[in-house]
């Protein structure tokens, strides 16, 4: 079994989609092992998205991610990283496949409802970023 980190981003939390997205995860066969609501600070958001620090969209991304509460989830499933990226859809919600989480709850290429880890190594680091000493059941 593998784990991935999902962040329900501020756009989706503020629109009341937290429960729907969690239910979509469960219906898709993920087990939720950790859940934490958090408003990222500027420093936390910059650290989380450090790989993008030289991209033109970095500043607006940080402003967006600190604009309100997010909900971090630890999800478990076989090949969790790829399986979760399959159900969230393309980065730009306007291009995301019909029925995908970003298609249903996102707006564009920034306000795209959810984050999903992009590799098992990054998933491990990202889970540790939000959950100290989590007991993965």
Contact between 72 and ligand RTP by CB under 6 A: the answer reads no
Nearest to 80 by CA among 48, 108, 118: 118
Q: Is the dihedral of CA 91, 65, 26, 3 positive or negative?
A: positive
User: 59 contacts which partner out of Mg ion, ligand RTP, none, CB within 5 to 8 A by kind?
Assistant: none
User: 109 contacts which partner out of Mg ion, ligand RTP, none, CB within 5 to 8 A by kind?
Assistant: ligand RTP
Query: How many residues are there in the chain?
Result: 137
Region binding Mg ion by CB under 5 A among candidate stretches 7-15, 66-74, 102-110, 118-126: 118-126
115 has catalytic annotation: yes
Region binding Mg ion by CB under 5 A among candidate stretches 14-22, 32-40, 111-119, 126-134: 111-119
Instruction: List the one residue from 22, 25, 40, 61 that touches ligand RTP (CB under 6 A).
Output: 61
Q: What are phi and psi of 78, to 5 degrees?
A: -60, 135
Binding mask 108-127 for ligand RTP (x = CB under 6 A): -xx-x--xx-x---------
Nearest to 12 by CA among 116, 110, 113: 113
User: Which residues are CB-neighbours of 101 under 8 A, at least 6 positions away?
Assistant: 21, 24, 87, 88, 89, 113, 114
Q: Give the interface with ligand RTP as residue ranges (CB under 6 A).
A: 52, 57, 61, 91, 109-110, 112, 115-116, 118
Residues that are catalytic? 115
């Amino acid at each position: 079994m593998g784990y991935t980190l999902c962040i329900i981003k501020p756009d989706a939390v503020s629109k009341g989609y937290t429960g729907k997205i969690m239910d979509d995860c469960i219906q898709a066969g993920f087990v939720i092992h950790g859940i934490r609501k958090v408003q990222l600070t500027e420093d936390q958001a910059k650290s989380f998205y450090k790989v993008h620090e030289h991209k033109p969209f970095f500043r607006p991304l940080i402003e967006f991610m600190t604009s309100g509460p997010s909900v971090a989830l630890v999800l478990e499933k076989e090949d969790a990283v790829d399986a979760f990226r399959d159900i969230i859809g393309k980065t730009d919600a306007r291009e995301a496949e019909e029925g995908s989480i970003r298609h249903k709850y996102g707006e564009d290429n920034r306000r795209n409802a959810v984050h999903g880890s992009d590799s098992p190594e990054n998933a491990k680091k990202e889970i540790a970023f939000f959950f100290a000493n989590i007991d993965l059941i």
